[in-house]
Structure 1
């Protein structure tokens, strides 16, 4: 379980941090929040939807069709598509709000990426934040600033009833099942906007968000392909483990990573 703590000189002044080399920390995330700035690149790799957050909606990367499974992470921890959402690129760091409403930089102390001797220092000898930490803080500050813009865009789309439930049906072991809780842009309602409303949505950046979401839906079928590939890879992995346990594993497996690749 993650354990995010605010970075301070008292707590981390003599420690170092390491960059992650695997995305297993995201393997159970079926959804990941996105900001408007990310959507033009994200739409090229993954389906994008909206999820409800309070009385508003936020864009999310749709990474799986079942709770607790991220199909974009391979069994070996590799990220399987070109675009990586910002929260994962910034791991093991993230921003959090204090009781006073201030944004502070935190690190996941349960990530296994803190060290007493190796990696990047949190602070220089004079007690100021190390350049690497400053760069991470700037990265998250930019994302957080864009998050408010994204929220305002989604509120405008919501105002014109452009965000509607996204009916998704998947074929599971127990037959067809409905995926609940995802929303999409209503293309017909978008095309029916008055000239004045369309201009307002366009000037706010809403058309970019809307069209990125609509175009990204083509990748929904990729998740089905990945779900099947994950199941087959898991089956192969279990078979290899069983053979190894029985002492019958042939040497050819040493050249097989037990993973898979795919092209879109």
Structure 2
């Protein structure tokens, strides 16, 4: 299927590893000119070199850093597709996550995306076409007790997408969210093996993944997702076949979220 991405320029924030890197790679495979963003220069340049993309290094949690990234990303031409993937989390409980940490993760995971939207959508409006895609998550709507500050930022991402879609009505720009379930990135694989002993999980990574998908984060498929499965949903929403989709949340979670909406 031709996604119609040849000649389009895409910025994927937080694409120096994991899900973001997979999104950048698949967009490049579909013919888009991709800007790879990250905070670690070596990792960012490595991904960009592998997929023949442009690397941009910067911190989106500050006004100056976001402005620099937006300007650098647009140096080769205006951005048509913005994928707000950058963000992070710490494994903290309610008692450990103090208000200052809530504010910090909100800056990194929510306001960073708002900054990029404000920088890049005006030019999309002028051209009458654009895509803004947030990477959210199932924890936005079915949170657990742990990582409350992180889960709240996911909910904010989902919410702002719908508001943005209403704001952009009639402009030719769509705004949507892709909501991953548990995805087996390198970081998640390390987490699983680290917590396996306390849960009584034994065996290799495949064994631990299977048990975790049954008892810890259960889903209907019986495994964790893979980064390229998230990338495929993003590429579809970025392409010409998704013109009639806006304000939507596309869940890619193996059926983890039990909802009819």
Give me the TM-score of the superposition, normalised by structure 1.
0.25
Instruction: Tell which structure's C-alpha radius of gyration is larger.
Output: 1
More helix by share: 2
TM-score, with normalisation over the residues of structure 2? 0.25
Higher relative contact order (CA 8 A, sep 6+): 1
